[in-house]
């Protein structure tokens, strides 16, 4: 009875929220395909497990990562780059599932960027305390394409700043099935994720998973 009452509480957040010029938050946009996304994610992770990569400076990242698509984002002592091969398995990254590609295409279009065809999807797993410091996504060849970022599981505080590292970031709470899209004038804006608060998500448990779609080449 109590659970039913809670489930009946409507989502009163606006369905779209501007973050900056060229940047928008699409609330709950992934909900209709949520179970297909999670099934596809399980298959990817079985082939290319999450791992904690090292920064060029030798620090191990608190976020665990894997990839799917033609190219995967990797970091190690040699630097940040896109690679067609998973360095842990020496095999190509798992193919990008159709449900991923179609969702990214539709979200990008809803954000004002038609014809987005990602060739890389970085998959980030945050456990409580994991964070991502302010950075730009700038290892891609094509800044004409946007970034499409899908949140699943525990809520996170997303920080979205400006073109300079010193620009004060605004904070946005990203919840399960929310999608952030940024491109055009904000394509190179600094952004990051605050340390994940502990909690238990009904579907994903004690973690947040983020799918970041890019056009790398």
Ligand X SMILES: O=C(O)CCC(=O)C(=O)O
Binding-site string for ligand X from residue 165 to residue 204, where x marks contact by CB under 6 A and - marks none: --------------------------x-x-----------
Using CB under 6 A, pick the residue from 44, 68, 105, 122 that binds ligand X. 122
For residues 171 and 17, give the distance between their C-alpha atoms in angstroms, rounded to a whole number.
Answer: 12
67 neighbors 48 (Cβ within 8 angstroms): yes
Residue identified by tokens 């094509």 is: 142
The whole-angstrom separation of Cα 28 and Cα 182 is 17
In angstroms, the CA 117 to CA 119 distance is 7
DSSP symbol at 139: -
Q: Which residues contact 17 (CB under 8 A, 6 or more apart)?
A: 24, 25, 27, 172
By Cβ distance, which residue is nearest to ligand X?
210
Kindly tell me which of 36 and 76 has the beta carbon lying closer to Mn ion.
76
* Helix, strand, coil in percent for the chain, rounding step 5: 20, 35, 45
- Residue 67 sits at φ, ψ, to 5 deg, of -145, 160
In the bound state with ligand X, the residue whose beta carbon lies nearer, of 191 and 215, is 191
Q: How far is the CB of 165 from ligand X (least distance, A)?
A: 14
Q: Residue 106 or 151: which CB sits closer to ligand X? A: 151
Q: Binding residue for ligand X (CB under 6 A) from 71, 158, 182, 190?
A: 158
Q: Select 3 or 168, whichever has its Cβ closest to ligand X.
A: 168
Distance of CA 153 to the CA centre of its chain: 12
By beta-carbon proximity to Mn ion, the closer residue of 137 and 140 is: 137
137-176 residues near Mn ion, rule: CB under 5 A: 137
Count residues binding ligand X (CB under 6 A). 10
Report residue 182 as tokens.
Answer: 């940024």
Name which position in 124, 176, 178, 189 contacts ligand X (CB under 6 A). Answer: 124
Q: What is the edge-to-edge ordering of all strands in the sheet holding 147-153?
A: 16-20, 23-26, 179-182, 147-153, 208-214, 120-126, 64-69
Per-residue contact string for residues 119-138; x = within reach of Mn ion by CB under 5 A: ------------------x-
- Which residues from 72-111 bind ligand X, rule CB under 6 A? none
The contact set with ligand X (CB under 6 A) reads: 122, 124, 132, 137, 149, 158, 191, 193, 210, 212
The contact set with Mn ion (CB under 5 A) reads: 137
């Amino acid at each position: 009875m109590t659970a039913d009452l809670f489930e009946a509480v409507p989502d009163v957040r606006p369905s779209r929220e501007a973050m900056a010029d060229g940047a928008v938050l699409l609330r709950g946009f992934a909900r209709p395909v949520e179970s297909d996304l999670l099934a596809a994610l399980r298959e990817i992770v079985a082939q290319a497990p999450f791992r904690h990569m090292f920064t060029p400076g030798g620090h191990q990242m608190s976020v665990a990562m894997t990839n799917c698509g033609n190219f995967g984002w990797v970091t190690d002592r040699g630097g940040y780059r896109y690679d067609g091969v998973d360095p842990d398995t020496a095999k190509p990254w798992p193919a990008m599932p159709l449900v991923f590609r179609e969702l990214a295409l539709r979200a990008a279009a809803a954000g004002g960027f038609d014809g987005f065809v990602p060739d890389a999807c970085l998959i980030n797993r945050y456990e409580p305390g994991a964070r991502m410091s302010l950075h730009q996504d700038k290892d891609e060849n094509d800044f004409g394409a946007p970034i499409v970022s899908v949140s699943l599981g525990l809520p996170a505080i997303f920080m979205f700043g400006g073109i300079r590292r010193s620009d004060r970031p605004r904070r946005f709470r990203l919840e399960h099935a929310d999608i952030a899209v940024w491109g055009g004038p904000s394509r190179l804006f600094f952004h990051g994720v605050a340390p994940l608060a502990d909690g238990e998500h009904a579907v994903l448990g004690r973690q947040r998973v983020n799918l970041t779609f890019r056009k790398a080449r």
